[in-house]
Amino acid sequence: MSSTNIEQVMPVKLAQALANPLFPALDSALRSGRHIGLDELDNHAFLMDFQEYLEEFLRAL
């Protein structure tokens, strides 16, 4: 059985973002046009941490 390095498929930071329990609801909110401000600290911090990877991922869809 051959092993596959996850980084050959997607960046580790993107995999971490997609696996985060905050991602599904946050993704849905953003796709519906909702703004995530500083008043939603957990969601805002998540977006700031993973912004580069999520932007690239969402553009590719």
Q: Let me know if domain 10-60 sits in CATH 1.10.10.2250.
A: yes
CA distance 8 to 45: 27
Q: To the nearest 5 percent, what fractions of the chain are helix, strand and coil?
A: 65, 0, 35
pLDDT of residue 9: 86
pTM: 0.80
Stretches where the chain sits below pLDDT 70 are 1-4, 6-7
pLDDT of residue 8: 77
Q: Which residue from 52, 61, 43, 59 is spatially nearest to 14, judged by alpha carbons?
A: 52
Domain boundaries, the chain: 10-60
**Cα-trace Rg, the chain:** 13
